[in-house]
Amino acid sequence: MESQIELSFEDIRGKQCAKLIRFIGDLDATNIEFVLEKVCNLINEGIVNIIADFKQLRYVNSTGLGILLHFSKTAREKGGCFKIANINENVYEIIEIIGATTLLEIYDDLDEATAALT
């Protein structure tokens, strides 16, 4: 009965060591291990510049927020970044409540996030 989350991975044209990850569904305590493993594997393989597309991410709770902060910290420690784009109003509100809007790199859309990649 765990929540459904799908991750799809795409290369980002013209960018080295970079991937676009589309999050689809709900991110919560029932599926963070799956997400953690997939994203950490990517970072450990040297893909340290990540753009997360949240267009179809409906829901995130405190556990999910915890791993988003973890991804951001880990990517930065390895000289990369974890950027979030297309976030919906409800998910943004939760990030705002915990005061994490300044800790996460949030962009309005994919073009803006891609342009900010070094």
List residues binding another protein (CB under 8 A): 1-3, 26, 28-30, 59, 61-63, 65-66, 90, 93-94, 96-99, 101
Nearer to another protein, 12 or 26 (CB): 26
Q: Which two tokens stand for residue 116?
A: 């900010």
Q: Which two tokens stand for residue 66?
A: 């915890």
- Parallel, antiparallel or unpaired: strands 81-85 and 105-107: parallel
Helix (H, G, I), strand (E, B) or coil at 112: helix
Q: In whole angstroms, how close is the CB of 40 to another protein at the nearest point? A: 18
Nearer to another protein, 92 or 107 (CB): 92
